[in-house]
Structure 1
């Protein structure tokens, strides 16, 4: 491929053909990933951790011993929360290693292909109880090789000076992610409800093979990204001003941790709470793994129009303001779950629409804070370290998801209303911190000097 034009010919919207293969790959990968994650905690609590099953799982006794050595005796719900938190956290840590492997050893194409193969093997291993721990390891490693590298390939499809087209390309790519994240739990949850847990995991394995086929089919439309060597590029040293910006961005990344603790609780403890306390009727509890993603998809065009309207009136919040709002929204959503548990304390009594509304609000909050975080980091980081800083942003969900897994141990030690109130308080505390530190951080980042800065942004 010698030019972008050659990659665009005849493709919808004038975008490179490779974009649609990458978006399709990520759609099916997220479909399988979130489909499996929606089943994970309930599968552990309802089947895998029962004595007659647990004794046959390779490595599970050692893993439980390690967990109880750190946190004391754990019930099945507490142990399931630790595993889910560890899994979710490591999925966000290993992309840092995957990026190094692609950059220095294998190149993006081979690294992503190996990642998809490992994830396919991991999902397939989930269909066997005894391979549960092996399956999680394969999924963590595979996701690390795939997650960051496939996103970086989207950017390489466009010339550096074509920012507008590249932004729209990333929007298409992100739409594939959200569609997969929303649809996966619906399909695997329905299959698991009818044919059992392992059938649901088998569907996830099959979809990963579809992702692999999609990626391989698009190889000729993707740019070659051979591994780089240190001799091939040199960046000037960071200036003192650059160093201040980097430190301020690290603070911003750390300030996303309260939201990243509050939000993923709906993925780990949420399914257990829904299964026990929500009046589901015919709706499988596993379908709730889609509700926050559906909320994010539904709110995205409305938020774009809302922000555009605010911008015309010069009242659009700045990036840190949006992050604070989003963090507050996820806190409020968790408090909504607490209120539902308090008003309707009996089993199977929380109205379905109440729980759905809270999950939707979680998705709206995520749309406010996380894409904005990545946009801010990539936009103001010094060019010499922009890739490192964007990858470093995922350290926040890595640490926060580990913490969420530990906090989830308390679900069986507290009333549901008290647990969700605690979860909501973490999010609200994060929002207060962001609002309080926003002026200082904007000065450090230089974002208080934007020409388009709103007059009355909060």
Structure 2
């Protein structure tokens, strides 16, 4: 049977002749590309905007960046739950995209800064998990041989948007005016939404509940109502913070952390907790507990990696802006351009690493997943050794050449390729079947914690005698070495039956 005779987005059962990707994959590719363009365009400018345009102190700008990027990793747990129970993935994605578009446009107006960030955080929660999940729904079950290729195409869309964003939105923001850069991010999100709705027929039934049809005019009220609800929630939270914030800020740091973890954790659990009837009451056996504990242990180590890696949009963005000689003839390279190096290297080298791991796994030099991630942490630490050398020159009053940051971003991306895809694959393979979704959510919570730490780490180290980049080098390398030392018992626990 030819795929041309099937409904759009459906898969044929004759996998021997079904090698073409479903047409719906290009819809999600371009939707995700434009969404990532908007996200990374705004991210490339945020700290620079706070410091250079709004007069934020460096520490406060980095802290706000850490809170924003940390919450971005928390809200998908809630948005995914709303989609599963009430909205369906397709409508949730449209609502999320609408709210994010409003947030990006609001960033162009200085008085709306916090409202804009809140809209972006909440909108991302509705958008991000549901577009990712829709990719899987384009295929005919878990054994469809096209599935891995489909997610690779999806991943390329993510990185294409991330590559273009600093070059376009960053240039507009730094050369023409900040509102031009943030406006460009909003236009990118609008384009993503329009092409998603326009090309819906190619998605088939992907992202729809059994009783739902494609998103149409009849859903305008639903979309506007939920979008208005998101706006009201963010506005109300900001008003409440005016009263709660001063009291909370006066508490000891430990108390602040405990309260934040308790409130956020309780709110998330009340929304995403599974129905007991759907998951059953069968307890985990000893081997399953071993696998769960092993994943959590690795997750704790991974926080060390992302705490360093996420300096890219914070302290390293400021280093590029303030301490780097960016002149090429009479043209000054925008500092935001450096953030395009990471996605460019990923697109170029991801296939190389995939082939490398396959070859190693078939040889006597095979490494377990935890050892690969440990190596990624060490490589990240080596990048910070180079960064510490550049900072030392900058501290002596010298503006360093652009090649220093280029080398650091290249090394850090090598570390990411060793750790990130391997970690996601490990969780999906090792987690007990009844806990895969929960543990994947917990895995992303480690990124939330790391993003917050990335924003406040420089301030935390003040008065400690440790400079930021040497500390991050030692932190990442030390964590990698320790994980390597305990990798054998962890691997044994992960493969226990």
If the length of structure 2 is used for normalisation, what is the TM-score? 0.79
Give the direction of change, closer, same or farther, for the CA distance of 1:414–1:347 in structure 2 (3 Å limit).
farther
The residue that corresponds to 1:27 in the other structure is 33
Structure 1 unaligned residues grouped into runs of 5+: 51-75, 450-458
The residue that corresponds to 1:46 in the other structure is 52
The residue that corresponds to 1:7 in the other structure is 8
Structure 2 unaligned residues grouped into runs of 5+: 13-17, 212-273
Q: CA deviation at 1:234?
A: 4.3
Q: Give the Cα–Cα distance (whole angstroms) in 1 for the partners of residues 210 and 111 of structure 2.
A: 37
Find 2:174's aligned residue among 173, 193, 199.
193
Q: Give the Cα–Cα distance (whole angstroms) in 2 for the partners of residues 348 and 157 of structure 1.
A: 54
Find 2:476's aligned residue among 427, 436, 441.
427
Q: Give the Cα–Cα distance (whole angstroms) in 1 for the partners of residues 40 and 73 of structure 2.
A: 14
Structure 2 counterpart SS, 1:164: coil
Q: Give the Cα–Cα distance (whole angstroms) in 2 for the partners of residues 412 and 285 of structure 1.
A: 26
* Structure 1 residues 316-331: aligned runs within 5 Å: 316-331=366-381
Q: Give the Cα–Cα distance (whole angstroms) in 1 for the partners of residues 208 and 75 of structure 2.
A: 20
Q: CA RMSD in A?
A: 2.6
Give the direction of change, closer, same or farther, for the CA distance of 1:350–1:161 in structure 2 (3 Å limit).
same
1:101 and 2:82 aligned:
yes
Structure 2 counterpart SS, 1:7: coil
Give the direction of change, closer, same or farther, for the CA distance of 1:312–1:164 in structure 2 (3 Å limit).
same
Q: Give the Cα–Cα distance (whole angstroms) in 2 for the partners of residues 278 and 7 of structure 1.
A: 50
The residue that corresponds to 2:262 in the other structure is none
The residue that corresponds to 1:336 in the other structure is 386
Q: CA deviation at 1:79?
A: 0.1
Q: Give the Cα–Cα distance (whole angstroms) in 2 for the partners of residues 386 and 227 of structure 1.
A: 24
Q: Is the 8 A contact 2:69 2:448 kept in 1?
A: yes
Q: Give the Cα–Cα distance (whole angstroms) in 2 for the partners of residues 139 and 346 of structure 1.
A: 39
Q: Give the Cα–Cα distance (whole angstroms) in 1 for the partners of residues 107 and 372 of structure 2.
A: 39
Q: Give the Cα–Cα distance (whole angstroms) in 2 for the partners of residues 179 and 232 of structure 1.
A: 42
Q: Is the 8 A contact 1:320 1:434 kept in 2?
A: yes
Structure 1 counterpart SS, 2:428: helix
Structure 2 counterpart SS, 1:151: helix
Give the direction of change, closer, same or farther, for the CA distance of 1:137–1:169 in structure 2 (3 Å limit).
same
Structure 1 counterpart SS, 2:399: coil
The residue that corresponds to 2:240 in the other structure is none
Structure 1 counterpart SS, 2:146: helix
Give the direction of change, closer, same or farther, for the CA distance of 1:161–1:285 in structure 2 (3 Å limit).
closer
Q: Give the Cα–Cα distance (whole angstroms) in 2 for the partners of residues 332 and 113 of structure 1.
A: 42
The residue that corresponds to 1:246 in the other structure is 292
The residue that corresponds to 1:160 in the other structure is 141
Q: CA deviation at 1:295?
A: 2.4
Deviations along 1:347-403, one digit per CA (max 9) or x if unpaired, are 452121121011111111111101111110011111112112112211001011111
* Structure 1 residues 207-222: aligned runs within 5 Å: 207-222=188-203
If the length of structure 1 is used for normalisation, what is the TM-score? 0.86
Q: Give the Cα–Cα distance (whole angstroms) in 1 for the partners of residues 319 and 368 of structure 2.
A: 36
1:121 and 2:102 aligned:
yes
